[in-house]
Structure 1
Amino acid sequence: MYKIYLVEDDRGLRDHMKAYLEKFDYEVYVVEDYKRVDEEFDVIKPDLVLLDIHLPYYDGFYYCRAIRKKSKVPIMFVSATTEDIQQIRAIELGGDDYITKPFSLQLLLTKINAFLRRVYGEYGDVGRDVMGVKGLTLDERSFKMNYHGQVYELSKNEFTLLKMLMVHVDHVVSREDLLTVLWDEDAFVDDNTLTVNVTRVKNRLKEAGLLDVVKTKRGVGYVFESGAL
């Protein structure tokens, strides 16, 4: 489980971000003392830092410099400041990316996943091919689903569909998008094939005792509902 250190002084946004990211099995730590961010970083040893610019006592630029003196951990600035000069300064001081408020949590998650995949996963030096939502995880190396210690074998198509739905947890994924991820050079996939494979995914989840996790949105697509876990 990756650890994220969230340095954000807007309590409402901070709590919203924390709750959302924890649904994807991220371990999120929020700042406890704005005078001791650097020290909290040393204790937590996060895999990623989400850093606001305007903070009490010291700004995000100050802490970015402090962290960069001792760590190459990915740092993503999260700020309402849209001026180019501020974004340039953030990157020049060692930040890896900059996302401006307001933003969608799905975009934030996509950026975080890309960072961690690049630094620690398939594009980095340390392999990690496991993703999860709450207690349900998928291992791309073995096409296995794990739910609280119970392991289930999935076919390639079952795994591909379930992963797509979990990546977009609590959001409807269209049938067209699911057909696209199933398509490959050697196999034609039609609408009936998709229906059959989604049914198989639902049955696999039922084997694990998970009922109504994947729901059909008639005429639109399917949704993986985290609240059913």
Structure 2
Amino acid sequence: MYKLMLIEDDALLGELIQDHLERYGYVVNQPVSFTNIVEEFTRLQPDLVLLDINLPYYDGYYLCRSIRKQSTVPILITSARSQELDQIMAIELGADDYITKPFTFEMLQSKVKATLRRVYGEYAIKESSNTCIGALCLEANTLTITYDEKKRELSKNEYKLLKKLMDQHDSFVSREELIEEVWDSVTFVDDNTLTVNMTRIKSKLAELGIEDAIRSKRGAGYMFYSTAVAED
């Protein structure tokens, strides 16, 4: 039975979300006070966090960053803010997905179910070996990538996307295939979410000294060029 932490300051909406998710067998906890949410998270140790952005005392961005400092628990942002910049910021701070209000309870439940399945269930990362191309190694157990004695940490989503590309290096992988690899469904995922994650991966590769390893082509998707590593 999965334990969820719902951080929503609209009391009526929070109650409706809690009632709906509990029908599916989840244990849903809402914070007693919005002044000690991080402390409550530490005490509760939930399996997933549903986090609004517009909150009293501390906004969702601050809380997302604070939670990420101590945990890799999946975080789903639920917000009425629909601007692309808001979604980019949330993902940059470590959120796993962004759900724009208003949403149906059925879609929210589908997102929760898919995320839990991806992180803890049948689609969870189970590899114990590393994926390497030349001196570049993707480490499954630590979710890190190493090259030339340098190391960078990856989120679960970044790990899955990069592994998919490295496994199929020198061949284009479609955007749809990459989205399904990480989020299970193309229907409920904003295409920009993939773009933001790919930009973060490219940035981390560049920090390791690897330039232009991942390239995109309109209508074809993304490709990991093994020669970019070999040439370095």
TM-score band, normalised by shorter chain: 0.5 to 0.7
| SS across alignment from 1:99 | strand
TM-aligned CA deviation for residue 31 of structure 1 = 1.4
The 2-side partners of 1:125 and 1:18 are apart by 28
Give CA deviations for 1:92-136 in whole Å, capped at 9, x if unaligned. 00000000111000000001000000000001158xxxxxxxxxx
The 2-side partners of 1:5 and 1:27 are apart by 9
- Tell me which residue corresponds to 1:19: 19
- Tell me which residue corresponds to 1:70: 70
Over the matched positions of the two proteins, sequence identity in percent amounts to 53
The 1-side partners of 2:78 and 2:23 are apart by 20
- Tell me which residue corresponds to 2:93: 93
Where does 1:74-223 land on structure 2 (aligned, <5 Å)?
A: 74-125=74-125
| SS across alignment from 1:5 | strand
The 2-side partners of 1:71 and 1:96 are apart by 13
- Tell me which residue corresponds to 2:37: 37
The 1-side partners of 2:108 and 2:52 are apart by 14
Give CA deviations for 1:3-56 in whole Å, capped at 9, x if unaligned. 000000001100000000000100000111101010000111000000000000
The 2-side partners of 1:32 and 1:51 are apart by 15
Aligned residues: 126
The 2-side partners of 1:38 and 1:8 are apart by 14
**Letter of the structure 1 residue corresponding to residue 47 of structure 2:** D
TM-score normalised by structure 1 residue count: 0.54
Q: Which runs of 5+ in 2 are unaligned?
A: 127-232
| SS across alignment from 1:25 | coil
Give CA deviations for 1:148-179 in whole Å, capped at 9, x if unaligned. xxxxxxxxxxxxxxxxxxxxxxxxxxxxxxxx
TM-score normalised by structure 2 residue count: 0.54
**Letter of the structure 1 residue corresponding to residue 28 of structure 2:** V
C-alpha RMSD of matched pairs (Å): 0.9
The 1-side partners of 2:43 and 2:17 are apart by 21
Q: Which runs of 5+ in 1 are unaligned?
A: 127-229
| SS across alignment from 2:32 | coil
The answer as to 2:6 corresponding to 1:6 is: yes
Structure of larger gyration radius: 1
| SS across alignment from 2:103 | coil
The 2-side partners of 1:33 and 1:74 are apart by 22
**Letter of the structure 2 residue corresponding to residue 49 of structure 1:** V
